[in-house]
Structure 1
Amino acid sequence: MYTEALNLDPTDKNTKSLWFLFCGNKLMVSLKEDKASIPVTEDISELQLELVRNQYIGKLGGIHCFCAEVNSEEDVPPQLKLLDLRQLMGLVDEEIFWMAGKAFQIMDWDRTFQFCGKCGSPTETIKNEHAKVCTSCKFINYPRISPAIIVAVVKDKQLLLARGKRFTAAIYSVLAGFAEPGETLEECVAREVMEEVGIKIKNISYFGSQPWPFPNSLMIAFTAEYESGEIKIDENELLDAGWFTAQNIPPRPSKISIASKLIDWFIENH
């Protein structure tokens, strides 16, 4: 996704703009058959919404983008429907989906940090920056981003896949986990694989990265090779894990995810 440089107070904002409008964690969209669209308007007052707060989040394809929220579902116009971000996958272009993810994270941060976590005083948004400053102690808070690793582990032309307990569908994916304070990303990769399936890995290599707004992750992807050990799953995290060839990959995550791109990489190369 490419967005133009951010200016939180654009001088030409009275033009046609995309509005990512939330009610809680759900986004307002227009639905037509198997496609969803984000409201576009020159004047948000046309939708007759009572906005709790709003933030400017940049440009997409030359069009200004804003995020905002309302208090209750009663405030949602009848022509718009509410979808969560996972339901939005496949219903909009990827560029729109990633901007919706950014909008969700900024909106959630704006809602969550109305008060200073250090002294409890009200905060106010800093001009031309996604940051909030405490009106009393001047502590500055930025939107939360949680780094997480995700890794494709290969052994003899087989890929390590696991089914997590939190998966609502019967899908298998590569292993992932959040980085902890004081460790490098490579250390995090090795630790997560050992903790979740009990094996050692080697030759850890960077693959790519992807924002993942569930709720505020930055996924950093790696590939690695099996070194030693037998699979022993962490039953608190996983239901199953195993080695799969390119010919017998089980149901897997959405194509939009970097997890699926890692699986595609394995299939193409093995």
Structure 2
Amino acid sequence: MRDDHSTFLSAALGAGADCLIFRGNQLLVDAAGGPPSVWRDYLAAVAPLRVIPTGGGPGEACFVAEVAREAEAPRDHEFRHLKGLLDTLPRALRERAVRSLELLEFDRAHQYCGACGSMTILKPDMIARVCTNDACAREHFPRVSPVVIMAVERGPEILLGRSPHFAPGLYSTLAGFVDAGESAEDAVQREVFEETGLHVRNLRYVSSQPWPFPHALMLGYRAEYAGGEIVCAVDEIEDARFFHVDHLPPVFPMKYAMASVLLDDFCKRHGRPGVL
């Protein structure tokens, strides 16, 4: 473990501190899927790969640790993929876990300066890593990748598509990364056209959501169908079609996902039960 991580390990084990423990994308939880009661003893014995602060409210000392892939969970505990916990964790713990996983990815990916190649160290007063080369001294901050995800509507119908890597029969709303120098609204129009050949209008922002796999920020939009015939982008969209609100196909079951938020909003605005 790096010296800067060792410093934070001591702080994480101190009185009043709290620490989440990940193994890759898997969070350590107890048998009921809640916060582990033995994290402090486990962290002291397991030799973590890294320990970093994650911030917190006044008087709080919150940290996250990463252990090796081969590390075993303590008795009556288990490592579970965070995706499988997003619907069940209490909101405050879920928000901490999402932030913590993104910060682990940031720390892992910025051990060396991208400008000069020198080693970086954690800054003690902010979530950042700084280059140790005095001639460079560049500060590196967590990366956030904006992604637009949109409910394209045609009256009581909604456009849903399926990627070749989806489970059989599942559909979802369209989504794509925002390009450099592009607004989120322009990205919505471009992605819909690139993936299906359709044009949209009357965009409305709905809400945003962090998606820490590894560092996306989902920007949810509604848009109205404006014209065109569906032509699916080869290698990206296996099928896309408009589905009536009363005849929706199987969709991803995760309630936390932004696609579910958009579908829930669509159904309720048409007087149907939501999906959340």
AA aligned to 1:108 is E
In structure 1, how many angstroms separate the alpha carbons of the residues matched to 2:186 and 2:73? 46
5+ residue gaps, structure 2, are 1-7, 271-276
Change beyond 3 A, Cα 1:60–1:129: closer
- SS of the aligned residue for 2:71 comes to helix
Going from structure 1 to structure 2, the CA distance change for 1:191 and 1:102 (only over 3 Å counts) comes to same
Q: Distance in 2 between matches of 1:191 and 1:42?
A: 46
Q: State how far apart, in whole Å, the 2-side matches of 1:24 and 1:51 are.
A: 12
Give the SS at the match of 2:166. Answer: coil
TM-score normalised per structure 2: 0.85
Change in 2 beyond 3 A, CA 1:79/1:73: farther
Contact 2:205 / 2:221 at 8 angstroms: preserved in 1? yes
Superposed counterparts of 1:108-127, under 5 Å: 108-127=105-124
Residues 44, 134 of structure 1: alpha-carbon distance in 2 compared, 3 angstrom cutoff: farther
Out of 217-226 and 80-89, give the one that drifted further. Answer: 80-89
Larger strand fraction of residues: 1
CA deviation after TM superposition for structure 1 residue 51, in Å: 1.8
Give the structure 2 partner of residue 228 of structure 1: 227
**Number of aligned positions between the proteins:** 259
TM superposition shift of 1:73: 2.0
- Listed as ranges, the gaps of 5+ residues in structure 1 are 1-7
Deviation of 1:108 after TM superposition, in Å, equals 1.4
Q: State the AA in 1 paired with 2:116.
A: C
1:48 is matched with which residue: 42, 45, 56?
A: 45
CA displacement 1:125-149 (0-9 Å, x = unmatched): 1122111110012111111110010
Verify: 1:205 aligned to 2:213, yes or no. Answer: no
Cα distance per residue 1:228-256 (max 9 Å; x no partner) = 10111113111211111111111222111
Identity of aligned residues (%): 35
User: Residue type matched to 2:178 in 1?
Assistant: A
Q: Is the 8 A contact 1:49 1:76 kept in 2?
A: no
Give the whole-Å Cα distance in 1 for the aligned partners of 2:72 and 2:151: 44
**What is the root-mean-square deviation in Å for CA atoms of aligned residues?**
2.6
Is the counterpart of residue 104 in structure 1 residue 108 in structure 2?
no
Q: Is the 8 A contact 2:12 2:19 kept in 1?
A: no
